[in-house]
Structure 1
Amino acid sequence: MVNSPFTPGIAAGRLPAETLSENFSDLHAPLDAHEASVAADRCYFCHDAPCMTACPTSIDIPLFIREISTGMPEAAAKTILEQNILGGMCARVCPTETLCEEVCVREVAEGKPVEIGRLQRYATDKLMAKNAHPFQRAPVTGKRIAVVGAGPAGLACAHRLAMKGHDVVLLDARPKPGGLNEYGIAAYKSTEDFAAREADWLMQIGGIELKTGVKLGRDVSLDDLRAEHDAVFLGMGLAGVNALPIDGSDLAGDAVDFISDLRQTDDLTSLPVGRNVVVIGGGMTAVDAAVQSKLLGAQNVTMAYRRGRDAMSASRYEQDLAASKGVHLLFDATPVAVHGDGACREVEFTNTQTGEAFRIPADTVLRAIGQTLEDVPAGLEQDGKKIKVSGAGRTSVPGVWAGGDCAAGGEDLTVTAVAEGRDAAEDIHATLMEG
């Protein structure tokens, strides 16, 4: 964050450690065996299951719920993980309210869907608790693939390639694998170091060599990777942050950094937070930053978005979650300037409907207006600001695939990134074996 912890209005330890621990506990408590059985019994096991169609990874949802209902949660987990190897994290962070659960027959008929996400977590947690990996590697092929980025897309791609018998070198610029799952989501959605534990569990498949602290373009070039490997998959996500093009923007901090610092700390009482926080943006990052500011002890938190409620990329569920935690949602508010003399004091807005100008007190401003791909490797065709892909992630350069947030196309969701990494791996395997 730009603002110093010693700036008036910003302080650490606004709440006692016990309160912070409670505030950042699991957002949704896991189901126990009886609760899972009751929840599973609500499923109609539809033949033409709309929930399965709505899942970006095409998990056979009726099958895994039936397996839970018949007392076989580990079998249910394998059904899930065959399609989505990060099924445990997706069960925690997927916007199920706008995907599988939104189209659930019981949601349509009764307004209360089968709790697919919580059932998925129940099954995958049961299997992971045994510290056993449900898949085995195929015979070694002698092929070697470089996967850049150990986020959801890269992890899914690396696992599927390793399972097919290929050797994988997994590179990531940060100290730990996980990408968005490790550094970029609210701490109350993934507790007890789950992202790191899931990455370790995933790599039990074998055949994956992890190299952290290695950044494409700084430590290694795409040409080098192509020369030394049979194929390359790019899944490095979006490391750049869009600028806030207004006066005083240098007084604003970055919501992504704020969330990352919170996710990596061992002591929540050490994190500084303002008394009056303004988060600019309308997506999931904005919600996560705003809610966590409130949970850290900020007195007034405003999430300001330049359009109306229906245009927000954050789901209505997430909007309501923010409101329930005391975050003020401000719509049709375009930021004009951040005012202050060396430190933020207030933010000036214009109402996009009426043109009225107004100001909000703020000792902390966090921008959450989207991320961007920092450097597209030379030779790769772009689609907008992302890497252009066709089919299952093929780029304009032979032997190079891409997926996840850095590639043009699907929604910026963990589950979509997993699907793209998995599908690219299947295409890489088919291409190498045909060759």
Structure 2
Amino acid sequence: MSNSQQTPGIVPNRLPSEAYQDNFSDLHPRFDDHEALVAADRCYFCHDAPCMEACPTTIDIPLFIRQIATGTPEAAARTILEQNILGGMCARVCPTETLCEEVCVRETAEGNPVEIGRLQRYATDTVMDAHPFTRAEPTGKSVAVVGAGPAGLSAAHRLAMHGHDVVLYDARPKAGGLNEFGIASYKSVDNFAAREVDWLLSIGGIEVKLGQALGNGLHLDALTDAHDAVFIGVGLAGVNALRCDGEEKENVLDAVEFISDLRQADDLSGLPVGRHVVVIGGGMTAVDAAVQAKLLGAEDVSLVYRRGRDRMGASEFEQDLAASKGVRIITHASPKAIHGNGAVAEIEFAYTADGANGLEETGESFRLKADQVLKAIGQTLGDANGLEIEGGKITVNDTGRTSRAGVWAGGDCASGGDDLTVTAVAEGRDAAEDIHATLMGG
């Protein structure tokens, strides 16, 4: 163990400088041409394609794999991108192990699925230097898209492709949303998220306005007056509270902000991290935060979840990844109090069990040493601008229509599907098609 790893408190440079590049290298490196052909050759090209049914964007997976196998990866890319314009990022971050690859016939028969995600990345990477779609003739219609994350980008692109003028608003100083600010760095290297946004915008017809959020510079009434339609894809804003004593102590942080700071850092060695880090939560954000804290040089990292592993939002693959990086996963434990004189020093947990009335405390407790606590227990919707809410999200129908005429919504901020990048892309695309049909009198 290096001396800096033993240093108490939250400090930078816990590792030798060369270790950061190794630790944050590509989790699933791109196939070379030969590897792609070998991987594609394993596909049975099933006529009923369970993998296609499991994909939220319904990509024709057997077709694009056959196109790779026949030496036309550019055609494969078009097959993917027609359904999922953010297919490059989804190939990197999608939990394929619980979607397309989980239902692959090879997985069922052999426990070794076709590597659909890596094949998708291989195909989409071939067209990143030139946009494969052209814009239709201008319709004279204008659409506001609020939120430049996966749902908003998907909607904006599809609307622009149909010939509508799109104004894309976002609260942050950069477009990309979750893909830019909320994904583990080892899943998206070489500034891919920003490059994909630039590539997407190259279709034309999309004006980007940053630093503007609903309720802070943007108001729904003004947007509906200025545009023929509005799509809202703002994601989720705040992080839920732990609701335990001592939560206000220093160095109790939001995991989302921790990941965002890491994603935007030019020099990872300059990022401070604790010696003893505790992450509270069981989803993908919790795993991403825990793994990256360990990769930054934390001596010990514990991920604590109030239910069992089978109830965690993070997939089994992500859980195993965390364990392989040295993260200790503790289940059936709920935070009770954060102790310390000003700054966190320990966190107290109560053991839990599933009882007749739901989750119950057993009466036993334990403490973990902690100089940094990262909260990853879910996020909340910001300003809904008077739209109907359901379960803390904007109420929408199956094409994204909200309770207000002329306003659609999709992605994490809207009721309905899973909080996944690929689901957000599908919802943005489908809402855009409904907006287009409505504006054109369909």
Q: Would the TM-score normalized by the shorter structure come out above 0.5?
A: yes
Q: What's the counterpart of residue 418 of structure 2? A: 411
Letter in 2 for 1:361: K
Counterpart CA distance in 1 for 2:11 and 2:219 is 42
Measure, in 1, the Cα distance between the counterparts of 2:60 and 2:253.
Answer: 42
Which string of whole-angstrom CA distances, capped at 9 and with x for unpartnered residues, describes residues 114-172 of structure 1? Answer: 000000000001111xx111000111000000000000000000000000000000000
Question: Within 2, Cα distance between the matches of 1:402 and 1:425?
Answer: 10
Match of 1:364?
372
2:344 and 2:241 map into 1 onto residues whose CA distance is 17
Separation in structure 1 between the aligned mates of residue 16 and residue 84 of structure 2, nearest angstrom: 39
1:176 corresponds to which of 174, 177, 190: 174
Contact 2:136 2:163 in 1 (8 A): yes
Give the superposition deviation at 1:8: 4.4
**Deviation >4 Å, runs of 4+:** none
Quote the residue 1:431 is aligned against. 438
What is the alpha-carbon distance in structure 2 between the residues aligned to residue 300 and residue 90 of structure 1?
A: 31
Residue 285 of structure 1 aligns to which amino acid in structure 2? T
The match for 1:3 is: none
Question: Does structure 1 conserve the Cα–Cα contact (< 8 Å) formed by 2:145 and 2:167?
Answer: yes
2:108 maps to which residue?
A: 108
> What is the DSSP-based 3-state SS (H/G/I as helix, E as strand, rest coil) of the residue aligned with 1:348?
strand
Tell me how far 1:384 sits from its aligned partner: 1.7
Unaligned runs of 5+ in 1: 1-6
SS in 2 for 1:266: coil
**Per-residue displacement from partner, 1:378-433 (whole Å, max 9, x unpaired)?**
2x111021100013000000000000000011000000000000000000000000
Measure the CA separation in 2 of the matches of 1:35 and 1:376. Answer: 47
Residue 386 of structure 1: aligned partner? 393
Of the three residues 109, 133, 136, the one matched with 2:134 is 136
Give me the TM-score of the superposition, normalised by structure 2.
Answer: 0.96
Q: What is the one-letter code of the residue matched to 1:80?
A: I
CA distance in 2, matches of 1:142, 1:15: 56
Q: Does 1:244 align with 2:242?
A: yes
Q: Secondary structure, in 3 states, of the residue corresponding to 1:355?
A: strand
Give the match for residue 150 of structure 2: 152
| Count of equivalent residues | 426
Match of 1:190 in 2: 188
The alignment status of 1:57 with 2:57, answered yes or no, reads yes
2:347 equivalent to 1:347: yes
Aligned equivalents of 1:404, 1:347: Cα separation in 2: 34
TM-score, with structure 1 as normaliser: 0.97
Residue 375 of structure 1 corresponds to 383
Q: Whole-Å Cα distance in 1 between the matches of residues 391 and 115 of structure 2?
A: 37
Q: Which residue of 2 aligns with 1:280?
A: 280
Instruction: Tell whether the 8 Å contact from 2:150 to 2:411 is kept in structure 1 after alignment.
Output: yes
Shift of 1:17: 1.9
Secondary structure of the residue aligned to 1:205 is coil
Distance in 1, matches of 2:57 and 2:108, equals 22
Shift of 1:376: 1.1
3-state SS of 1:206 partner: coil
Find the aligned partners of 1:16 and 1:189 in 2 and give their Cα distance. Answer: 22
C-alpha displacement of 1:355? 2.6
- Which residue does 1:4 correspond to in 2? none
* Structure 1 residue aligned with 2:406: 399
Q: Give the letter aligned to residue 407 of structure 2.
A: V
Q: Structure 1 stretch 157-166 or stretch 235-244: which is displaced more?
A: 235-244
The one-letter amino acid paired with 2:363 is G
Identity %: 73
Residue 364 of structure 1: how far off its partner (Å):
0.4
Q: 1:423, 1:348 → 2: CA distance?
A: 46
1:68 aligns with 2:83: no
Secondary structure of residue in 2 paired with 1:244? coil
Q: What do residues 176-211 of structure 1 show as CA deviations (whole Å, max 9, x unaligned)?
A: 010000000100000000000000000111000001
Distance 1:212 1:114 in 2: 40
Supply the distance in 1 between the matched residues of 2:403 and 2:237 (Cα, whole angstroms): 22
Gapped runs of 5+ residues in structure 2? Answer: 1-6, 354-361
Q: Which residue of 2 aligns with 1:164?
A: 162
SS of the equivalent of 1:53 reads helix
Equivalent residue for 2:358? none
Would the aligned equivalents of 2:169 and 2:212 in 1 still touch at CA under 8 Å? yes
Take 1:357 and 1:109, find their aligned partners in 2: how far apart are those partners?
44
In structure 1, what is the Cα distance between the partners aligned to 2:31 and 2:398? Answer: 39
Q: Give distance in 2, aligned partners of 1:216 and 1:17.
A: 41
Aligned to 2:130, the other structure's residue is in SS state coil
Aligned residue for 2:236, secondary structure, equals coil
In 2, Cα distance between equivalents of 1:278 and 1:96 = 28
Q: Secondary structure at the match of 1:253?
A: strand
Tell whether the 8 Å contact from 2:8 to 2:275 is kept in structure 1 after alignment.
no
1:245-260 alignment to 2 at 5 Å?
Answer: 245-251=243-249, 252-260=252-260
